[in-house]
């Protein structure tokens, strides 16, 4: 009886092994749609079995699979699909051994490459470089028994562009969070279309990113007014051709040049008081605009909710993010 059972199992195995088209399957990059079942799975490209494995929960297994980077590299040249055979957990080990023995998949016979983790400090540096023309450092809250030392950044947005600014930041931070070989994560703690909040942690520091509704230098319509003052002075009528040329010049102007122009303009200082009055400080190795102590105290006295949320905040002077060396 045992022999008959073994023979029938072998016949079933052969049929499954030879007919992958009968098995459910998805593209590798659609792995989030895998079912939550126990199964033997097969990674296949161009009719070649690259990897065979087992899972008690197929979807969870592929959320952070150790072979995904290698298979993703293969998928850039040809499509990789995941096939699976649902089965009882008691059968998993036996079937996996049988299928590996039959196919000799290349990745089952090689060591997993060591994963090189990108330090969080580098990822925070990348974040600030990408956000540098939109954010301003408000200040630093010292650590206490309830929270880590906390760095507060505000992202500036005029009322007319706050939804666009929120969407732009969300896409940027999501792209950074999804980078492979990194444990660094931006978390959206308050999700809004008009002014979301994010936070992350790095080297024992918590970083918070909050919305701040105020004009910013990189907002072109506002900078047009500064350029008008510089270029045309008190003219009441500006030829359309000259005005359009001015607009194009503003759009091509880098941040540093805009900041200098705004600081030397009366209307610029009125439109962009935070950026014009701020100074550059080094944060995670990046030269970032940060409020002066006078600016911060003025904001705290004017906006009581800031003082309520961050009662111990003070201006940023020295590099607040330690770079850990080993």
Q: What is the pLDDT of residue 17?
A: 47
Alpha helix positions (H), the chain: 2-18, 58-61, 68-75, 92-103, 120-131, 162-177, 220-232, 240-251, 255-263, 266-271, 273-277, 293-302, 304-309
How far apart (Å, rounded) are the C-alpha atoms in residues 146 and 216? Answer: 34
Q: What is the pLDDT of residue 236?
A: 62
12: left (phi over 0), alpha (psi -120 to 50) or beta: alpha
Show pLDDT as tens, one digit a residue, over the chain (326 residues).
344 444 544 544 444 445 677 899 999 999 999 999 999 999 998 777 889 999 999 999 998 898 998 899 888 888 999 999 999 999 999 999 988 887 778 888 777 666 676 888 889 999 999 999 999 999 999 988 888 889 999 999 988 889 999 999 999 999 999 887 787 899 999 999 889 999 998 878 899 999 999 889 988 888 988 888 888 776 667 788 888 888 899 999 999 999 999 999 999 999 999 999 999 999 999 999 999 999 999 999 999 999 999 999 999 999 998 765 44
Q: What is the pLDDT of residue 19?
A: 63
Bridge-based pairing of strands 48-55 and 25-27 is unpaired
Task: Answer yes or no: are the C-beta atoms of 81 and 27 closer than 8 Å.
Answer: yes
Which sequence spans correspond to the domains of the chain? 2-109, 120-216+272-309
Which structure tokens are listed for 8?
């029938």
- The three-state secondary structure class of 132 is coil
195: left (phi over 0), alpha (psi -120 to 50) or beta: left
Look up the CATH number of domain 2-109: 3.40.1440.10
Q: What is the pLDDT of residue 292?
A: 97
The number of beta carbons lying within 10 Å of the beta carbon of residue 284 is 25
pTM higher than 0.75: no
């Amino acid at each position: 009886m045992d022999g008959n059972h073994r023979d029938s199992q072998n016949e079933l195995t052969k049929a499954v092994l030879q007919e992958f088209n009968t098995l459910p399957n998805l593209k590798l990059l659609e792995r989030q749609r895998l079912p939550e079942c126990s199964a033997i799975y097969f990674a296949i490209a161009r009719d070649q079995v690259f990897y065979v494995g087992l899972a008690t929960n197929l979807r969870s297994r592929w959320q952070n699979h150790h072979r995904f980077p290698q298979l993703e590299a293969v998928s850039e040249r040809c499509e990789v699909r995941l096939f699976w055979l649902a089965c009882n957990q008691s059968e998993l080990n036996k079937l996996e051994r049988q299928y590996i023995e039959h196919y000799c998949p290349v990745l089952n016979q090689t060591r997993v490459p060591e994963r090189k983790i990108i330090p969080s400090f580098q990822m925070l540096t990348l974040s600030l470089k990408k956000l540098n023309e939109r954010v301003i450092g408000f200040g630093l809250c010292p650590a206490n028994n309830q929270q880590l030392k906390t760095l507060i950044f505000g992202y500036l947005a005029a009322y007319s562009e706050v939804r666009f600014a929120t969407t732009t930041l969300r896409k940027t931070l999501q792209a950074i969070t999804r980078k492979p070989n990194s444990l660094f994560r931006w978390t959206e703690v308050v999700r809004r279309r008009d002014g979301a909040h994010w936070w992350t942690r790095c080297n024992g520091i918590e970083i918070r990113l909050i919305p701040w509704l105020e004009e910013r230098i990189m907002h072109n319509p506002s900078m047009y007014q500064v350029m008008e003052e510089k270029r045309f002075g008190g003219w009441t009528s500006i030829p359309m051709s000259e005005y359009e040329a001015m607009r194009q010049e503003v759009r091509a102007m880098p941040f540093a040049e805009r900041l200098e122009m705004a600081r030397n303009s009366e209307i610029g200082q009125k439109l962009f008081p935070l950026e014009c009055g701020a100074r550059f400080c080094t944060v995670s190795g990046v030269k970032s605009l940060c409020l002066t102590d006078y600016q911060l105290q003025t904001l705290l006295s004017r906006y009581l909710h800031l003082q309520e949320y961050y009662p111990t905040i003070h201006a940023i002077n020295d590099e607040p993010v330690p770079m850990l060396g080993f």
